[in-house]
Amino acid sequence: MTVSGSQYLLQVKNLKKHYASKSGFLSRVKPVVKAVDGIDLDIRKGEILGLVGESGCGKSTLGRSILRLIEPTSGNVVFEGRDILSCNREEMRLLRKEMQIIFQDSGAALNPRITIGEIIGAPLDIFGLAKEEEKERRIIELLELVGLNKDYVNRFPHEFSGGQKQRIGIARAIAVQPKLIVCDEPVSALDVSVRAQILNLMKKLKNQFELTYLFISHDLSVVHHLCDRIAVMYLGKIVEIADRDELYRNPSHPYTKTLLSAIPNLDPESKRERIVLEGDVPNPSSPPSGCHFHTRCPYRMERCSVDAPSLQRIGDHHSVSCHLFDDQH
Ligand code: ADP
Ligand code: MG
């Protein structure tokens, strides 16, 4: 599958990742968790696409499937015109240089027994990008790029704060000059003041190196200033996707409205009422029939428990998966 002259860096088509649930070992039929259940997503070169949804809705599984850190069940992931799911081991190894990931818990992702210099230098070794003095120089440059003192180069991860560890994780990710970075809740564990610093840093680096981000967050307020477009996910599916301003101005899926209404003071002019969701997040191994959201939806109609809606365009760069919009087309 090739895409010629595409403005897209990445195209995800009908991607699925189903896990055999561990809890089913006593029953004859193993329940399947449809963590990612038929996702279509395009990411343009140079954009920051936000991916938002409650914990457990499949965001990390989607991010890792895109990078093939876990093997998707089916679908296509087309990166620069190449379907990476059909790449062999060596092709995949080379592609790893183009696609990096930053984790929420960067502390746990850093080897505690090696120095910061070695951590940041490791990807340079793996891909043979720089050796000896050139490597030393590059490591110092990377430390400075992410706002860390170059004298830290011989220190160990435990000597750093959460925000500093995240800076190290970012330095390691950009060391190989990737094109795409999947940022999996990189600021969720940080204090609010540190969070803003890291977001600013990520934005600066994105502009400086023409990076493209898939930025995952469970919190719509975090992605507000950063992202160009935002996709909202619920139980393995995208329920709404729109340009950032359009999504905040005109949230259309009832789930998006709920997420937005939970953010205090996002827009002081807004008279938005707080909508409280009924019930808990359903068990993903037995999601509700029809529209997965119908059990918690304040606007549910009869057909919502029977027919699964699909994403439909409701405006420029704005699609929503909800039967409330069926009559409009
Ligand atoms: P999020 O990142 O949005 O919190 P995840 O992608 O981590 O969500 O998880 C989505 C669903 O898949 C959850 O129900 C989770 O329990 C399940 N899941 C994640 N990883 C595995 C796994 N390795 N085996 C079985 N189920 C998993
Ligand atoms: Mg996650």
Taking the centre of ligand 1 as the mean of its atom positions, its distance from the CA of residue 60, in whole angstroms, is 7
pLDDT recorded at residue 1: 44
pLDDT recorded at residue 3: 45
The pTM for the full model equals 0.93
pLDDT recorded at residue 16: 98
pLDDT recorded at residue 20: 86
pLDDT recorded at residue 243: 97
pLDDT recorded at residue 283: 86
pLDDT recorded at residue 263: 79
Alpha-helix residue ranges (DSSP H) falling in the chain:
59-66, 89-95, 106-109, 116-126, 132-145, 162-174, 192-209, 220-223, 244-249, 254-261
Best residue among 19, 183, 218 to mutate for probing ligand 1, ranked by most atoms within 8 Å of CB: 19
The b/e string for 273-287 (b: 16+ C-beta within 10 A; e otherwise) is eeeebeeebbebbeb
pLDDT recorded at residue 265: 63
The ligand with the least distance to the CA atom of 57 is 1
Nearest CA to ligand 1 atom 21: 19
Strands of the 8-20 sheet, one edge to the other: 32-44, 8-20, 74-79, 82-83
CA–CA gap between residue 10 and residue 206 (Å, rounded): 16
Give residues (CB < 6 A) around ligand 1. 19, 33, 35, 53, 55-61, 284
Q: Which residues of the chain have pLDDT under 50?
A: 1-4
Taking the centre of ligand 2 as the mean of its atom positions, its distance from the CA of residue 82, in whole angstroms, is 26
Q: What tokens were used for 228? A: 């160009």
Q: Tokens 């996002």 belong to which residue?
A: 266
